[in-house]
Each structure stands twice: as structure tokens, then as C-alpha cells.
């Protein structure tokens, strides 16, 4: 079940830096990649091509973890354990263009077709932003 | 281990070695007991081709690492965040207590220029040596 973000977390997720996502490969190892994200309507949203390894992993095992670290201050970080709720076609590349404006303040320069947006519900949150280091 | 006698399974490319020489955080990935994924930002250093990290014995990721004997480490180029990164799949080859906080002090100086903070009551530091076995990502 989705959890609510604390007030501090709701502010933290507005900051602009890539998230690191972790997904589980078929061989049981973890795949880690940096991705653009946004938090909207109580969910995390990421975007990619259907050929991305992480997306194939999520179709097999929907569990995903996002790590957010302030690139200017290593002590500000948060770990979000989550689950893919659904994915849908990013029609016309509107969502990737929206993310491009969040990160680069300009239109997306890459191809806008063959992309999907992925909805992730936060299931458990830990890390320094919420004052928890251990778990 | 990491005495210079042994050689790691995979030699890191010069580009990855240059990235690893910067005082950037690595993100270590392990699996929790229930199969969900644990991601933590950590200090690290490369020594003789091995990745050396340190933690206290109470945290989750060191417990996961000792159970699974493997981890993934991600290094991200701070100047090109979502475009240049190296993903190191590694195997745990040595677990060494750090009772004199020698390793954590060295890591702390690498990242903060200062020795590590005072240990908390009952805190025990431990060093993990990880052998790179496969490197992927977008680096050259």
C-alpha cells in the first residue's frame, strides 16, 4: 500500500537531480541506473524506452527502489522502496518533454516516440531526510 | 586481500578509474531479506583494483552484503549525471574488522578532509573488499 511522504520529503522530491533506480535482473543481481523522475499526485513517475533493461525487469518483478541524493550535500539522501503500479505509452513524448523542462528547462531533444511513463507507488521510505540512517 | 599479490577478476578501464578517483559517492545495491532492493550512498576507494568500503555492523546493507556475498556499485559522473555512469557488479572477497578506525579515517579524509567522527557507544566499524567481476554502463 502506498505511503504518504513526510513534509520534508515532499520538499526534497521537488529538487532537481536524477534518481538512482534499482531493479532486479533475471540472474538475481541488481541493475542500477540514474534516471529523471518527478513526484506528482502521490506517485513517482519515470520515463524510458520499452527496450530499457530496467523496464523488462519491472515487468517480471515490479519492485523498484529509488535513491535520491542531493549532489551538493551527500548527507541529504532518501531511499524509497516502491512498486510499479502501471505503465502507459508516453503519447507524443509529452511526459519526457515535461521532464526535460524540469531538468534542462528546454524541450526534449531526443526521439519522442516509443517511450513509456511508469507510475511507482512508494511503499516504504527511509534515509537521512526523515532522520533514519540504519535501515 | 588487496595486498597486491592477487588480481581482481576485471580490470577497471582508465575512464572508470578516473571517475573512481574523484571523491564521489558510490551507490551500493543489495537485496533485503524479502527480495526488495536496498540502495545506499556510501564512501569507497579503489585499492589495487578492488573496491573498499566500510560501515558499522548495525546497518542493513552490510548485513545484506555478508549474506549475499555480492553487490552492485554505481558511480555517476557528477558533471553528466544521467548520461555517464559505471555499474560495477562485484563479489565480496574479504571482511575485515576496523577496530582502530584506520580505514574509515582514510575514507573520511578522502571525502571530508577530516578524520571520522567519534564512534557512537558500541559502534563497530568493518571493512569490505569487493572484487569487480563485470562493469557495464555508459562510460566510453
Beta bridge partners of A23: A31
Q: Are A121 and A83 in contact (CB under 8 A)?
A: yes
Instruction: Note whether A22 contacts B85, CB cutoff 8 Å.
Output: no
Q: Which domain holds residue A51?
A: 7-130
CATH number, residue B52: 2.30.110.10
**Alpha carbons A107 and A7: distance in angstroms, whole number:** 31
Q: Which among B25, B32, B41, B116 is the top mutation candidate for probing chain A, defined by the most A β-carbons within 10 Å of its own β-carbon?
A: B41
Task: Find the distance separating the first CA and the last CA of chain A, reported in whole Å.
Answer: 19
Count of domains observed in chain B: 1
**Alpha carbons A101 and A105: distance in angstroms, whole number:** 4
Report the percent of chain A where pLDDT is more than 70.
Answer: 98
Inside any domain, residue B9? no
Beta bridge partners of A21: A33, A66
Inside any domain, residue A51? yes
CATH number, residue A80: 2.30.110.10
A33 touches B at CB < 8 Å:
yes
Q: Are B131 and B85 in contact (CB under 8 A)?
A: no
**What is the dihedral sign for C-alpha B130, B70, B126, B74?**
positive
Inside any domain, residue A2? no
Distances (CA, A) of B69 to B4, B97, B98, B130, B133: 22, 16, 19, 9, 12
Which pLDDT score, from 0 to 100, does residue B58 have?
86
From chain A, the residues in CB contact with B110 under 8 A are none
The tens digit of pLDDT for each residue in A25-58 reads 999 999 999 999 999 999 999 999 989 999 999 9
Write the residue in B31, B72, B111 that is nearest to A32 by C-beta.
Answer: B72
Q: CA nearest B30 in A: which residue?
A: A30
Count of domains observed in chain A: 1
Report, in this order, helix, strand and coil percent for chain A, each rounded to 5: 25, 40, 35
Q: What is the average pLDDT across A3-31?
A: 96
Which stretch of A14-18, B38-42, B68-72, B135-139 has the lowest confidence by average pLDDT?
A: B135-139
Q: Are strands A63-69 and B26-31 parallel, antiparallel or unpaired?
A: unpaired
Q: Are A114 and A96 in contact (CB under 8 A)?
A: no
Interface contacts (A, B; CB < 8 Å): 83
Write the residue in B31, B36, B82 that is nearest to A34 by C-beta.
Answer: B82
Q: What is the average pLDDT across A9-35?
A: 96
Q: What is the average pLDDT across B82-102?
A: 93
Q: Which domain holds residue B123?
A: 14-136
* Mean residue pLDDT across chain A: 94
Which stretch of A80-84, B16-20, B94-98 has the lowest confidence by average pLDDT?
A: B16-20
Q: CA nearest A19 in B: which residue?
A: B82
* pTM exceeds 0.90, yes or no: yes
If 0-12 CB within 10 Å is exposed, 13-18 middle and 19+ buried, where does residue B31 land? buried
Amino acid at each position: 500500500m502506498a505511503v504518504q511522504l513526510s513534509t520534508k520529503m515532499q520538499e526534497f522530491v521537488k529538487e532537481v537531480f536524477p534518481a538512482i533506480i534499482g531493479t532486479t535482473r533475471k540472474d538475481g543481481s541488481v541493475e542500477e541506473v540514474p534516471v529523471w523522475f518527478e513526484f506528482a499526485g502521490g506517485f513517482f513517475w519515470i520515463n524510458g524506452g520499452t527496450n530499457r533493461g530496467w523496464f523488462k525487469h519491472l515487468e517480471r518483478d515490479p519492485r523498484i527502489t529509488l535513491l535520491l541524493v542531493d549532489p551538493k550535500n551527500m548527507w541529504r539522501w532518501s531511499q524509497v522502496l516502491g512498486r510499479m503500479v502501471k505503465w502507459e505509452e508516453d503519447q507524443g513524448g509529452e511526459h519526457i518533454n515535461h521532464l526535460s523542462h524540469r531538468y534542462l528547462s528546454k524541450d526534449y531533444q531526443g526521439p519522442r516516440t516509443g517511450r513509456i511513463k511508469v507510475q511507482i507507488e512508494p511503499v516504504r521510505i527511509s534515509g537521512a531526510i526523515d532522520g533514519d540512517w540504519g535501515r | 586481500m588487496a595486498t597486491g599479490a592477487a588480481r581482481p577478476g576485471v580490470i577497471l578501464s582508465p575512464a572508470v578509474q578516473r571517475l573512481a578517483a574523484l571523491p564521489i559517492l558510490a551507490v551500493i545495491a543489495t537485496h533485503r531479506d524479502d527480495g526488495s532492493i536496498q540502495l545506499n550512498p556510501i564512501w569507497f576507494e579503489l585499492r589495487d583494483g578492488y573496491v573498499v568500503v566500510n560501515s558499522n555492523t548495525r546497518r542493513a546493507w552490510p548485513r545484506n552484503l555478508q549474506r549475499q556475498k555480492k553487490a552492485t556499485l554505481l558511480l555517476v559522473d557528477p558533471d553528466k549525471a544521467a548520461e555517464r555512469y559505471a555499474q560495477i557488479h562485484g563479489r565480496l572477497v574479504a571482511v575485515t574488522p576496523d577496530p582502530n578506525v584506520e580505514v574509515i579515517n582514510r575514507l573520511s579524509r578522502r571525502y571530508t578532509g577530516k578524520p571520522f567522527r567519534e564512534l557512537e557507544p558500541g559502534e563497530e566499524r568493518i571493512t569490505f573488499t569487493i572484487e569487480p567481476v563485470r562493469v557495464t554502463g555508459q562510460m566510453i
